[in-house]
Structure 1
Amino acid sequence: VLHSIITVRNPVPSIVIAQLTDVNCQQVNLLIGALGSVLYKGESDDAIHVFHASFSDFLLREKSGEQFKDLQCNPVNQHTFLSQACFNIMELELRFNMLSLPSSFLKDKEIENIVSDVNTKIKQGLVYACKSWGYHLEKSTKNSKVTTALEQFLKEKIFYWIEVMSLLRLASHQESIREDTLVQCGDTLDSVRKV
């Protein structure tokens, strides 16, 4: 949980950390409370923040001393874990017609209460996963588990991901996924086509 807090793309609420780590949200909040001297929740966004960057630096440092070995975070392993977690969340939650709209021909501006529907029907963990899978994938080990999850995502969920990104008004966020990640996605898609 702590390693996820320091390696997420941006500070997120405890409910998102709970979804990413598959840990009860109450346990995440207990950890935050226990580490109140180094972690805090933002007042406006409820996101978990680190008081000082030196704490994250300490945990991410390769050699922090033998007595702190169990606290050390291997960033590549953690990003691999988080990329897999993002794919798992998207696999479970992405689906056709995320807002259960009566017609796919309606323009967004024609849909009543679209903003509140987006905020209630698309969970925060899914929002994070949709926005951040590429970030974590870039920094991860491309092991067979991650590659399989990426292939499955590209075969089965990519159009639902585009729908969610559009609903979140973040479609331009796709540009922030680095070109080498998109190349890897293309290579994976090519290999999927051959199967």
Structure 2
Amino acid sequence: MAVPLFIFTTTACRFITDTDPKEQIEIVMSYQSNWHTSQLEATYLPILHRLKQKAISISYQTLITEFREIVGTIINLASPMSIPSLSKLLAVSERKVSSRLWQLHSVLEVPKPSSGLAIQTSVDAPVRMLHLSFRDFLSGESLRDSVGFRDFWIGEKGAHRNIYSKCIELMSKRLKKDICDLKLPGIFRSDVDESLIMKHLPTEIQYSCRYWVYHLERSRDKVKDGGIVDLFLRQHTLHWVEAVSLSGEMKEMVYIADALKVTAGSENISALVYDIQGFVRQNQTIIDRTPLQVYWSTLLLAPKKSVLKSIFGPRNIIPEVELTRPLIVQEQWSAVLQTLEGHTSSVTSLAFSTNDDLLASGSSDETLKIWDVATGAQLHVFRGHRYSIAAQSSFGA
């Protein structure tokens, strides 16, 4: 892979000025003069060379283990995290994270504590890669096959496996029913103070709830009966959905549940995930508005044969509720995935986008509406037609 000259130049300059300029220049030049070395290797091998040189206070194996875990996490995150959040996700000290990153300022944007009387120190800012080619280098074949530096190679699947495992471990420890102690089942999410949500659902937990399936999918692992994912879902699915709602990400749960389906490795897991999909699709609006209803009306009205209903209740969750008459509920989740409501008159035309993500509907009410197919959310309304919309071409046509 070719590396643009400006990436090499900026990386080399940051590397040279990081500690001992004379020694750093010699290291850079030694790799530039080696005709066996590619431009990508010449850009980033000096950094690994320096790390090996400085591995004095700790054993080489400890260096490699910490590098793979900490740096491997940073380069594979779906959204960057601060050092405090990283330390909590990985269950390592902030000092260890900082010490492992302090020689990587040439390739990572590593925040440093602000001086003076600043109210918020920059250490709370996220750690970011300066160039995506650094991730390509660390997970590439050239480093994997390198004689002197192959120990620094970070396998993408293994890194994602480690991240989703850490996410599940953290969520299993921290998530619980009514995590923000709201008490009132009917309280609206819009009425919950943001600071209260952040107190009980800090960045690392919100990240875990939002992205653990993303990392699971990229690890290529299949969810097996009795494994950590199976146990998590059977113990914490409702806690997880509540947390996602409180974080304001309920609209993403449809996509998350769909991605989770791909990872199912047994019939039992497939049945559980299918039930989660139906539960989310049918209840996303009410849970988005009132997060604690995930334990109340949604379970009461779930189909008789719902897997989630058999695991979580409603008697297991809300034993204090006494019904005056039996509820009439379906046997299974309805085959109806979404009901799109909004037009005030009959719909006269429909057209899907080329990727099937969006749906346009024309109506006799003289409006054209754009819908998100996955979530059923109304995205846009176009007004101004003087007559009903009789036809429309497909997106991109």
- The AA in structure 2 aligned to 1:118 is I
1:191 deviation in Å? 7.3
Distance 1:108 1:151, change over 3 A: same
Task: Tell me the residue number matched to 2:185.
Answer: 104
Q: How many corresponding residue pairs?
A: 191
Letter aligned with residue 230 of structure 2: E
Matched, 1:89 2:136: no
Q: Matches of residues 33-182 of structure 1 in structure 2 within 5 Å?
A: 33-41=102-110, 46-64=125-143, 65-111=146-192, 114-142=193-221, 148-177=227-256, 179-182=258-261
TM-score normalised by length of structure 1: 0.86
Deviation, 1:187, is: 4.8
Q: CA separation in 2, counterparts of 1:106 and 1:86?
A: 28
8 Å CA contact 1:39, 1:49 repeated in 2:
yes
Q: Deviations over 1:128-171 (max 9, x none)?
A: 11011110010114267896111112111010111111111110
- Shift in Å, 1:182: 2.4
Paired with 1:146 and 1:125, the residues of 2 have a C-alpha distance of 27
Q: Confirm or deny: 8 A CA contact 2:102 2:110 kept in the other structure.
A: no
CA 1:175/1:120 → structure 2, altered by over 3 Å: closer, same or farther? Answer: same
Q: Percent identity?
A: 23
The list of structure 1 runs, each at least 4 consecutive aligned residues, that deviate by more than 6 angstroms after superposition, is 143-147
Distance in 1 of aligned mates of 2:167 and 2:155: 18
Contact 1:80 1:140 in 2 (8 A): yes
TM superposition shift of 1:110:
3.8
Which of 84, 93, 100 matches 1:15? 84
Deviations 1:95-115 (A, max 9, x none): 01110113222222344xx21
- Kindly indicate whether the alpha-carbon contact (under 8 Å) linking 1:83 and 1:137 is maintained by their aligned counterparts in 2: yes
8 Å Cα contact 1:76-1:140 kept in structure 2: yes
Q: CA offsets, 1:37-59, max 9 Å, x none?
A: 11114669611111111211110
Residues 146 and 50 (structure 1 numbering): CA distance in 2 closer, same or farther, change over 3 Å? farther
The TM-score normalised by the length of structure 2 is 0.44
- The residue identity in structure 1 corresponding to 2:218 is K
Aligned partners of 1:75, 1:54: CA distance in 2, in Å?
14
- Counterparts of 2:195 and 2:167, CA distance in 1: 24
Secondary structure of the corresponding residue to residue 149 of structure 2: helix
Q: Aligned equivalents of 1:160 and 1:137: distance in 2? A: 19
Which blocks of at least 5 consecutive residues in structure 2 are unaligned?
1-69, 112-121, 274-306, 308-397
Structure 2: distance between partners of 1:146 and 1:124: 30
Residues 64-118 of structure 1: CA deviation (Å, up to 9, x unaligned): 222221111000111111111111111001101110113222222344xx21101
Deviates more, 1:7-16 or 1:44-53: 44-53
What is the alpha-carbon root mean square deviation over aligned residues? 2.6
